[in-house]
Structure 1
Amino acid sequence: MIGDILPVNTLIIFALSMVGIIPVLAGFKFTDKSIDATLGFSGGVMVAVSFSMIYETGGGILQHLFFAVGFTAMWILEAIVPHEHMIKGYEGPVFFRQKLKMAWLIAFSMILHNIPEGLTVGSSTIIDQALGFSTAIAIGLQDIVEGFMAGLPYVIMGRRMSALLLSLLAASAEAGAALASGYIGTLYKGLDTILAGVSSGAMVFIVAHEIIPETHREHSSESTMGILLGVMAALLLEYYLG
């Protein structure tokens, strides 16, 4: 039953999101190359999961349309919602750049990224429980990366409590999206495939617009290898668990 597995999958992505902040709080140092590699891994997982979702839901013309809608919607949100990236810097309306504190800008960035991931977990669980479980594990693995990336700027500034609270907020947003899409999707026939297409398109946009440009600013071989490993990890998880 969806009611049995959805909370489990949600707990997986929430817990792994919080795991990511642990090494940062513990004071581990990360080189630029290691950050590129881990971000590449995150992007590889997101791409593999996205196209697996399209395949699992039939891949028809409407599904491709929903994919394009999700891609475009995230493109618009990235342009109008003020947010801050660790490497890329500020994005959004110029007016808000000096009006909002850095904490809010980073929080908005994490929420923008995490909600599509939560929607993917929730919708995949409705489509097929085994697919939902493998998707939750794959998304959870890349959430570890996002967790320490979210908290890293604060730890550098010596604000560990802010880093912990930001990770908690990001993890909660993703978990909330997973639960909402899962339970709402069971009430309305066909909504699961719509959510799957939209969330897949949104995640591919994030990889294309942010992860690849940020990690390949110097043609990083580490990021390229990370993408390969991320794709392989997600596909192997789906093969053995899905």
Structure 2
Amino acid sequence: MFVWFSELNPTVQALIGGLFTWGLTALGAATVFFFKRIDKHVLNMMLGFAAGVMIAASFWSLLAPSIEFSEQNGQIPWLAPAVGFLLGGLFIRLLDFVVPHLHLNEKHEKAEGPQTQFQKSTLLFLAITLHNIPEGLAIGVAFGAASLGLGEASLIGAVGLAIGIGIQNMPEGAALAVPLRGEGMSRTRAFHYGQLSAIVEPLAAVIGAGAVLLIQPILPYALAFAAGAMIFVVVEELIPESQSSGSTDLATLGLMVGFVVMMILDVALG
């Protein structure tokens, strides 16, 4: 099975990886058919877990290979990773400015971005969708890097990254769908919003892989760009949300568990 997968075009591999993470988001959102509410302590742990996975993936799967590629190409080892990392954070900040959205646990009047008449459910959906973009890019860049056969990048490592991001997408899907159900939305509609928030991941994955394959010199920048975008989302959104309603110790433990799970996946498979 894996031999068949390894022979596919990297953009197709990235698409499959993105569809996989989207599918696990849908699986998480499907919990709305069984639960109307999630205990806030459990929700905080879930968000912390997602943050831990993204932090670990940002270093082991993205920044470390970026540094190694820069060294192999005779560049200043830290330059491309530093520039790409900062550009990734600036990219998400720009999206925050231009896309109206609302973070979990916030009231409608706390919506960020341009003023709009969107309902709270739409704003919550846009917020989750925003931070799924860098996850999709990370998957695509990882598969693109693996196809070039450079440094630490490997197809197994890219698959491990997709698995890790998919695992953390499950609680994200639930974290969006179940609260929407708790506010009175139908189960079917809440599920629809929850799973649809990750539809950008397959598209972003294809874009990431295609960009790396077309312009190979941008690879160190692209890897660090995805890392910077994910870290921005973690610090600006996931960690504050996981700590916003008490049970900060549980949220922190969730982060540490998520970090260890992704670290194990990356080291064992990469």
TM-score for the superposition, normalised by structure 1: 0.91
Preserved CA contact (<8 Å) 1:79 1:91: no
Q: 1:204 to 1:8 in 2, by over 3 A?
A: same
Distance (Å, rounded) in 2 between the aligned partners of 1:77 and 1:7: 23
Runs of 4+ aligned structure 1 residues displaced above 4 Å come to none
- Please tell me the residue identity of whatever aligns with 2:173: G
Q: 1:62 to 1:202 in 2, by over 3 A?
A: same
Tell me the equivalent position of 2:34: 26
Q: How many residues align?
A: 240
Tell me the equivalent position of 2:266: 238
Tell me the equivalent position of 2:80: 62
Q: Percent same amino acid at aligned positions?
A: 25
Larger radius of gyration: 2
Tell me the equivalent position of 2:228: 201
Q: 3-state SS of the aligned residue for 2:198? A: helix
Moved more, 105-114 or 77-86: 77-86
Q: 1:165 to 1:40 in 2, by over 3 A?
A: same
- Please tell me the residue identity of whatever aligns with 2:217: G
For 1:153-180, what per-residue CA distance to the aligned partner results, in whole angstroms no more than 9, with x for missing partners?
Answer: 3211132222222233222111111122
Measure how far apart 1:219 and its partner are: 6.0
Tell me the equivalent position of 1:155: 181
- Residue correspondence of structure 1 range 25-174 to structure 2 within 5 A: 25-27=33-35, 29-52=37-60, 53-58=62-67, 60-89=78-107, 90-93=110-113, 95-96=115-116, 99-128=117-146, 129-156=155-182, 157-174=184-201
Q: 3-state SS of the aligned residue for 2:118? A: coil
Distance (Å, rounded) in 2 between the aligned partners of 1:95 and 1:104: 13
Measure how far apart 1:40 and its partner are: 0.3
Distance (Å, rounded) in 2 between the aligned partners of 1:219 and 1:168: 27
Q: 1:182 to 1:160 in 2, by over 3 A?
A: same
Distance (Å, rounded) in 2 between the aligned partners of 1:186 and 1:101: 40
Preserved CA contact (<8 Å) 1:122 1:177: yes
Tell me the equivalent position of 2:70: none
Measure how far apart 1:184 and its partner are: 3.3
Distance (Å, rounded) in 2 between the aligned partners of 1:210 and 1:7: 26
Q: 1:81 to 1:8 in 2, by over 3 A?
A: closer
Structure 1 residue ranges without an equivalent (≥5): none
Moved more, 131-140 or 84-93: 84-93
Measure how far apart 1:210 and its partner are: 1.4
RMSD, aligned CA = 1.9
Preserved CA contact (<8 Å) 1:80 1:92: no
Moved more, 140-149 or 102-111: 102-111
Preserved CA contact (<8 Å) 1:88 1:214: no
Preserved CA contact (<8 Å) 2:104 2:241: no
For 1:72-96, what per-residue CA distance to the aligned partner results, in whole angstroms no more than 9, with x for missing partners?
Answer: 2212322442101221343324632
Measure how far apart 1:233 and its partner are: 0.3
Q: 3-state SS of the aligned residue for 2:185? A: coil
- Please tell me the residue identity of whatever aligns with 1:8: I
Distance (Å, rounded) in 1 between the aligned partners of 2:45 and 2:85: 27
Structure 2 residue ranges without an equivalent (≥5): 1-6, 68-76, 147-154
Tell me the equivalent position of 2:248: 220
Distance (Å, rounded) in 2 between the aligned partners of 1:194 and 1:178: 16
